[in-house]
Structure 1
């Protein structure tokens, strides 16, 4: 699953869903719903991927994860020459490390106690906070981020599955971001 799906959060959601209900279709749907965020991620790569063959574009899209996408965008903001080779290189390293480490984790994990009791459950959240910090572009990000956060928390509070809450928050954040950018263009 790690080498085929290559999206840790959706893998976790799919495995949790499968463990709770044993429904493969439900687990696959929950994982796919969470991965809807990749529509925006891949769309943001159109300039970087232009000029590549279809085969290379598909490879780049497959190995793009949240982390190497964020790293590529952060490096590209500093140096516009950073492009597809950086994205693909970091993606290949990431998918290799991810696949090996999840395999080792699955083997070793059966012998370890619940690591959340030691406070290690926060590592996943910390990685996303670090990525968000690297993507911060100033006060223009504030309103879409707040809306995205509020909608996600609100949907979870209403009892919806976390995967759907994240999708709802992302869609609302993207919509507000689009409105903010459209308003700025009209003012200019």
Structure 2
């Protein structure tokens, strides 16, 4: 198992570098709205979900309701239900403690890499997932904490028009999740529903929840339509 962990840790390094960049940007902006560096690092280690953390910080920055941030983050991470389900065969045979650790360390990057490598070689399994996950969570936690420590001593970046970092991070993450034109419909439905909800006066966090639910509904209806046609 040690060999598999090492292989996974080395294989994920290029993706970890990309995560470090937007983790650093997130840390700076989080510090700018009042989060201490240790709080940002602790959030990275315990939550380990960049999109949810960005939504939460944006919500706090706009003095929005905490419950809205929680709901928005949960909606953004609904995909992990499917991701965890796809790991059932890989995690089979591990103790409950190791399964929970592996699930916590699983993110978009190391999950996708593990599944891609497993498609090439069935021998790739839990060790590879754990090794790559250890690197990702370590890099994410460290980069966000370092970014926050530096951001705390910088002037207010909003004055220089650098508040776009949150949006840029979201675009980077969304681009990594894009799997082709076949996914265009749920993305468009989610975007349209979110824009409509915010335009009608709903808080941004609730708009994200509405958009996510509508996007999921579009996926479900499209799958049912495909089943009916076959």
**How many residues end up aligned between the 2 structures?**
180
How far does residue 137 in structure 1 lie from its aligned partner after superposition? Answer: 4.3
Deviation at 1:46? 1.3
8 Å contact kept, 2:59–2:205: no
Which of 26, 48, 60 lines up with 2:87 in the alignment? 48
Whole-angstrom CA distance in 2 between matches of 1:158 and 1:113? 34
The structure 2 residue matched to 1:6, chosen from 40, 48, 52, is 48
Distance (Å, rounded) in 2 between the aligned partners of 1:130 and 1:98? 18
SS of match in other structure, 1:45:
helix
1 or 2 for the larger relative contact order (CA 8 Å, sep ≥6)? 2
Aligned to 1:131: 176
- CA, structure 1 residues 178+107, in 2 after alignment: closer, same or farther (shift >3 Å)? same
In structure 2, runs of 5+ residues without a counterpart are 1-42
- CA change 1:49–1:38 in 2 (3 A) is farther
CA contact (8 A) 1:3 1:95 kept: yes
User: Could you report, residue by residue, the CA deviation over 1:129-153 in whole angstroms, capped at 9, with x for unpaired residues?
Assistant: 32133xx1443x1211211111122
The aligned counterpart of 2:215 is: 173
> TM-score, structure 2 length as denominator?
0.65
Give the direction of change, closer, same or farther, for the CA distance of 1:38–1:79 in structure 2 (3 Å limit).
farther
Q: Tell me, yes or no, if the aligned pair for 1:64 and 1:87 is still in contact at 8 Å.
A: yes
Q: How does 1:1-188 map to 2 (within 5 A)?
A: 1-21=43-63, 26-27=65-66, 29-33=67-71, 34-50=73-89, 51=92, 52-72=94-114, 75=116, 79=120, 81=122, 83-115=125-157, 117=160, 119=162, 121=165, 122-133=167-178, 136-139=179-182, 141-188=183-230
CA shift for structure 1 position 96 = 0.6
Say what the alpha-carbon RMSD is for the aligned residues: 2.9
- List gaps (5 residues or longer) in structure 1: none
